[in-house]
């Protein structure tokens, strides 16, 4: 449910969580529900002020700056409280926590955030569970059906540091996945550009396309079964659905993948007892943004996936 409400003029003092942030991005976070075009309009018109002076959208904020935000109309969406089962599940999935970030073993079937028909996600559940933490933001994302290592920042400084780590590809991620069919060659490096597109029904998909973004994944065979292959997938880039689409490109889509498997492949693995996408972010490795020491976190494979492997 949505309601339109008028937000009166306000003065917001910049703290450490917003230090260095661009003015336009700061305003969009403050004025959720206001069209982006209107945000730029009120900056250009001079209605937004920093320390009583005019500013540009690219102005970087400093601690102690006072930002004047003029009256605007906000579209306020009725918040959805995460269900009790989701809160209980998240409580059980902590892998690590320190002053700067949290590492969760994200459960399959729960989106990382709400929106587009999804009432709530992991980050919403975490904010409900931890109201004492004033800053909680996703550092990266995992598909709804994927389980495993997920990083959440507890302050702006850490979030920015991790964005640099990801942007400079100074992070190693590996996934455990079961692929349809038997792969005989290992390792296999897939270097195929990926492009997003939409189906007529509006579903977002990804495909290999020469005009897509550069994308690279290496697949190492861990174990072969009669109808499937267990692999470790190591993505060098971080595109949407990258492992899933590169696996399909090899002719071996991820087992249980409702978007990229054929109906026959889906049916085969459902009859064997697989009820979800067999993709799990098992390990993440990087240099700690504060200490500079190498940090490695691993998420154990979920019980349902382990039980399924035993049936094979």
Q: List residues with catalytic annotation.
A: 143
Radius of gyration for the alpha carbons in the chain, expressed in angstroms and rounded: 22
| Backbone angle region of 9, left / alpha / beta, with phi > 0 → left and psi within -120 to 50 → alpha | beta
Q: How many CB atoms lie within 10 A of CB 109?
A: 14
149 Cβ neighbours under 8 A, 6+ residues apart: 95, 103, 104, 105, 106, 173, 281, 282, 283, 284, 297, 298, 299
Cα 262 to Cα 201, 227, 277: the distances in Å are 18, 15, 14
CA–CA separation, 93 vs 260, rounded Å?
A: 28
The pairing of strands 49-50 and 53-54 is antiparallel
């Amino acid at each position: 449910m949505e309601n339109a409400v008028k937000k009166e003029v306000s003065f917001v003092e910049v703290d450490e969580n917003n230090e260095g942030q661009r003015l336009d991005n700061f305003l969009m976070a403050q004025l959720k529900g206001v069209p982006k075009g209107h945000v730029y309009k009120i900056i250009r018109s001079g209605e937004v002020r920093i320390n009583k002076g005019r500013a540009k959208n690219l102005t970087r904020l400093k601690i102690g700056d006072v930002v004047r935000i003029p009256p605007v109309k906000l579209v306020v969406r009725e918040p959805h409280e995460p269900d009790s089962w989701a809160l209980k599940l998240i409580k059980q999935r902590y892998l690590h926590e320190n002053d700067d970030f949290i590492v969760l073993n994200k459960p399959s079937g729960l989106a990382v955030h709400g929106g587009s028909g999804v009432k709530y996600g992991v980050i919403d559940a975490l904010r409900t569970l931890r109201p004492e933490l004033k800053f909680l933001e996703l550092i990266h994302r995992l598909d709804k059906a994927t389980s495993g290592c997920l990083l959440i920042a507890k302050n702006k400084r850490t979030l920015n540091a991790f964005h640099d780590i990801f942007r400079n590809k100074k992070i190693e991620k590996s996934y455990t996945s079961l692929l349809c069919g038997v792969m005989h060659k290992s390792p296999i490096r897939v270097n195929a550009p990926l492009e997003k597109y939409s189906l007529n029904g509006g579903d977002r998909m990804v495909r290999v396309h020469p005009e897509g973004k550069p994308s690279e994944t290496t697949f190492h065979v861990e174990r072969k079964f009669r109808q499937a292959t267990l692999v470790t997938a190591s993505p060098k880039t971080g595109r949407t659905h990258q492992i899933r689409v590169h696996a399909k490109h090899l002719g071996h889509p991820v087992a249980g993948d409702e978007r990229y498997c054929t109906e026959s492949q889906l049916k085969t693995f459902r009859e064997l007892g697989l009820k979800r996408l067999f993709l799990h972010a098992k390990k993440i490795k990087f240099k700690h943004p504060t200490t500079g020491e190498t940090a490695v976190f691993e998420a154990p494979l979920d019980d349902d996936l382990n039980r399924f492997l035993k049936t094979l």
